[in-house]
Amino acid sequence: MQDPVCKMEVENTTPYRINYKGITYYFCSKGCLDEFKVNPTKYVSPADLNKKIDVKIVYCRPCKYMDRALNLARDILSYFEEANVELVQGDRGILDIYVNDELVFSRYIEKRFPESEEILKSIGQKLQLARQS
């Protein structure tokens, strides 16, 4: 993630964050956060406010992966208010995560379950790219 004030790269785990018009912005320090609060429109373009990210989690219902899918959806929604999360029932051991219709994780390909942190990082990168376009 990029601090909108100083443009420094920051993690989404930083304690300096604010939700402004449905989008979470992350900051490197309290100083940058305070400066943003004074005049958010200086750092946020109207086009940024219209950027949303779509996440689709396809999970195997017969395999009882629904709890994993729900926990991942909860984590995504708690970090990214601008995310739309869709859960889709599947079968045959599937647990695939798509961000804006692009496969970012497949349990079949990776031969393991995803860690929430890696999915959150992938979503953050996609969101940042969307904001830059």
pLDDT tens digits for 33-49? 999 999 988 988 776 66
Reported pTM: 0.64
Q: How far apart are CA 24 and CA 81, in angstroms?
A: 6
- Pair (77, 117) in one structural domain: yes
**With contact defined as beta carbons under 8 Å apart, do 8 and 16 qualify?**
no
- CB-based contacts of 118: which residues, under 8 Å, 6+ apart? 105
| Structural domain containing residue 30 | 1-50
Range in 30-34, 49-53, 70-74, 121-125 the model is least confident about: 49-53
pLDDT tens digits for 70-113? 999 999 999 887 788 999 999 999 999 998 889 999 999 999 99
- Mean of pLDDT over the chain: 88
- Pair (58, 41) in one structural domain: no
- CB-based contacts of 115: which residues, under 8 Å, 6+ apart? none
Q: Please give the structure tokens belonging to residue 101.
A: 């219709």
The number of folded domains in the chain is: 2
- Pair (17, 71) in one structural domain: no
- Pair (90, 113) in one structural domain: yes
Residue 132's pLDDT is 60
